[in-house]
Chains A and B, each alone.
Chain A
Amino acid sequence: MELIPVLNSAARAATGTAAVFGPRPKNYLKGTTIFLTGERRRGGARDRPMVSRTAQNGEAGGPEPRVSSGNGNLDIMLYGGFVARRPYLLVGPGGTGKSKLALGFLCEGVRRGEKVLLVTLEEPPNEIRSNHRGLSPLLDQVYVFDAIPDVMRYERAPFKDIAAVRHAVPFSEVPYEIRKTPELTSVEVTFTALEQTLKMEITRRNYTRLVIDSLTALQYFCMKGVDEVGGAQTFLRFLSDLRVTTVLTVESPIEESETAERLLARGEVRLSRWEVDDRTIQAIGVEKFRGSAHDIRRHPYRIGPVGLDIDLETTVSRDPAGTGSARSEQAKERARNRPASSLPDVVALIAAVRDLVEVGVDVSSAQAEVDRAAAATESGRTAAAGRHLLRARGIVSQLALEWERTRESPQPPAPPAAFRSAEPKLEAPATTAAIPPPAPKLPAWLQETTAVPAEPAPAPAPSARGPAVAPPPAPTKPRSFSLPPVTLRRTASRPPLPSAPAAPPGLVALPRGASSPESPLAGTAAGPAPLSVGLLLVTPSVTPHEAGAPDGMTAGAPVAPPATRIENPTPAAPSPVGGLGTTGPIESGRAARRARRRGTSRKAFAGAAGGFAAAPVTPTPVGVPGGDGAVRDGPIPESPVRSDVAALVPVPVEPVPPSNGPRPTPTSDAPDVPNAGGAGPAEDGTATSDAIPIVVPPVPEVSEGAPAPTPVPKGPSVASPAPTDTQPAADAPAEGSG
């Protein structure tokens, strides 16, 4: 097995991937996870259009590259962006920013030198031009096709085919006045005519991004005599055949309605709006995303002049149960399931390695990492161990996938019986003898779990594979749209790293990470190490893993350790609002930032080394920055709730050079139980609709997210002490849009 070419191609792909995070206006995201974007940028090749890459090797059978949505944070939620050349839905009630988001998607294309087309059926082009002045220079190059039907003539008048009358023009040529229906003829827009026109337009200019705004209007006004559902189905089918990345906006007042387009689209981004206490909360969530992992939480956002400002660090959850007791019940339930979820990860890794050995793949590279991990564990450097394990896992995934590819048949000849083992065989094979070392150092909880092999179904699979697994059977479905109350919750966790964006299976952290294992960046590099679903394919029988597992990964462990810390809240702890434990991590300087990254890596690593990472949790300054954390939050108001949770998070496993001197995290009040909102474990995890061999970054928030739940056992869960305090959209004016 030639590993080098694989790694090379992975690296190449990684560079291309970096293009996903192209340059965007400064301050666009106001500091929210900017560091991610910034780091990506350093990867270079930022301006290379994704599309050319598509053209080159899109047909090669590899995973489709990703296409940036034009919104950095949405890309993160999508783990890199839309999968190229598929239709996606942007669903939400009027005025939530669908058009704005869609236009941002197009403008991103323009920025990359692509040709992009907007088909507008609701808002006249002249109004779009004036409404979205903020996008101006880029918007001018967006082609727009005015598909709004003319004013009806009740008297007989010749109808003309729309294709004969109208053409796409760039916005710069759109007049400021509304188009007038011609005196004698009027154009009736039917969707068949529109399909023809689109085909023509696309042949003419080779558009790579297409927006239909909106599909609802198309259904309402252009499908005379056609069954709405059938029409939508046909149209979506038509769009898939066009092989252009398409975003369709859908006006949908109700949250749950199974419509044809929802079933057919490859993905759905939903914008929701709730009214809570006379205020309006808007949240964005990825409801469905075929072929990729994605962030399954909903994040609040605000509409700014250039697009949606999504707050990835806050989630919005709606509490279907509504009662605190029920919530804590669920939380306990989850806590019970948690330890089980982390173990099989290591087990699966071992099993995977063993299987690879069985089929004759050279696993020495992975072995080396495992050895290092073991050594690190011995010496108590859990974070390092985690990194190594993570790398090992990346390598194994890669090898597995590669092997899978080289084989003729899709099924492994020797069905990996080992994979069926959810049971902890820590001392399993000789090849992986190195792994057991953690055992002696295993935290009590882990050992405990070890004693209870083959945990039922609840949450066994490794978190890293979480993404590949169907959403969890959470007690309370995260997206059970009952009614408010809406709870805003600070997750205090980094958003999923989109490292895997387009990352082909091979994007192993090894090359990068190995070069600078201890650099602050190493963590991030290792963190997002993509876990190929390929691994999953090889190990089909691994018990499905609840999406929430990532969060559960480390949770079992932290439960105890943080608790001790919690008992000694910093005396200096000011009121939660007073900046203590606010989101300082980012703002409190480089050290903290670095720590943050390490935390991220740890999170990512969760799966493989959940146990390692979890064991000796050390208090860190990260959650306790004395600084005024509110600063970095920009527009989104700080809230006690958030701060508390942030404070709770004992991110790093190893002490980080404290900027203010190490302080125990003031978690005493531990008020906000992240999942309490009935969001279910899934709320913290990721899920994917389909297991397509696409590289999936490990769920990052594991270790950070995990500690948060820890307070659960300690006391009554305070789910929403001040739900609306975090209200992002508060009373401040929001920019409207279509």
Chain B
Amino acid sequence: MMETAPRVSTGIVGLDRMLGGGLIAGRPYLVTGATGSGKTLLGLSFLMEGIRRGEDVLLVAVDEPPSEILENVRSFGWDLSKIRTLDANPGQRAIKRLGDVQEIRALADLRSMAEISTEGKKGVDEDVSLQSIHLKLRQQMATGHFTRVLLDSITSIRRFALKMSKDPQAERTEIQSLLRFLSERETTALVTASPGNPGSLTPEEILTRGEIHLSRRWDGDRSVSQIRVVRMRGSAHDPGRRPFTIGAQGVIVG
């Protein structure tokens, strides 16, 4: 039977090479890096590659509203129109965010399905919870199969969507559950995350099967973006750092 796991191209030739052929299909991977290091673009290029191959791909946008993402990549000439998007960007909710924790969790059970679809209608429903994202995904996946999913970003989910859950155990379990769900659907998922406290370990770090780290370094007066494969289960990989650039041709790893 399946002796070697099939690989999924990231859409970046150099990165595929570093990964030993690409991501392994059906597993979740983590992309870490500070804000502005290019996580989202890397993820988008992963999705674009899927589009190029005629796959159904999904973007779960929590960080930025999808509209902004569209604008941002316009200068690259990327056509994102075929990417299905789950806009999980929380709406304005200056005051409601402080709402009673219990209440929101209670609501989530009943209404979470509707939460996102009715986004913007009612203040209360504007909050995005991980549960609602999860359920929405499940709903979406019941009808169609996405081979690639970009979850951008899990840090935002934790900061904003999980704010209501004070129990770290519950938070971890929910993230575990979401990632487990994605892998059970045999979806190759990229999850972006900003680096947290050094030393603290996030559940996605434990659960993802590999990690790509983006960083910047000052070389004289200009900053050089660098990419590194931190870990990659079940595959030989290049552990070194490589420079990369983002331009009209997409992400290029040198």
Q: Which residues on A are within 8 Å of B, measured CB to CB? A: 93-96, 99, 122-124, 127, 130-133, 148-152, 154-155, 176-181, 214, 216-217, 220-221, 223-225, 251-254, 257, 275, 278-280, 729, 731, 733-738
Contacts and interface: CB of A to CB of B under 8 A. Distances in A.
18 contacts: A94-B205, A95-B232, A96-B231, A124-B183, A149-B176, A152-B173, A154-B131, A154-B134, A155-B109, A178-B186, A181-B180, A220-B176, A220-B206, A252-B201, A254-B199, A275-B228, A733-B239, A738-B234
Interface in B223-240: 226, 228-240
B199 A253 contact: yes
A151 B233 contact: no
Contact of A152 (B3, B4, B177, B233): B177
Given A224-B173, A257-B199, A280 B206 contact: no
A710 to B, nearest CB: 36
Contacts of B84: none
| Candidate in A99, A148, A733 with the most chain B CB atoms within 10 angstroms | A733
Nearest to B135: A154
A437 B247 CA distance: 80
B108 interface: yes
A200 B180 CA distance: 26
B234 A251 contact: no
Interface stretch (B42-50, B54-62, B143-151, B207-215): B207-215
A301 to B, nearest CB: 13
Which 4 pairs across A and B sit closest by C-beta, in order of nearness?
A95-B231, A131-B234, A736-B232, A152-B177
Contacts, number: 139
Contacts of B240: 278-280, 731
B5 interface: yes
A729 B230 CA distance: 13
B76 interface: no
Interface string B1-32: 11111000000000000001000001100000
Contacts of A221: 172-173, 176, 203
B230 A731 contact: no
B200 interface: yes
Contacts of A155: 109
A729 B231 CA distance: 14
A164 B215 CA distance: 47
Contacts of B177: 149-152
B112 interface: yes
B169 interface: yes
Nearest to A304: B236
Nearest to B231: A95
A149 B173 contact: yes
Nearest to A254: B199
B184 interface: yes
A149 B134 CA distance: 16
A214 B176 CA distance: 14
Contacts of B174: 152
Contacts of B112: 154
Given A95-B233, A127-B27, A733-B20, A278 B210 contact: no
Interface string B167-205: 001101110110011011010000000000011110101
| Candidate in A95, A131, A252 with the most chain B CB atoms within 10 angstroms | A95
A179 B124 CA distance: 37
Given A149-B180, A731-B240, A94 B3 contact: no
A182 to B, nearest CB: 11
B201 A224 contact: no
A208 B250 CA distance: 53
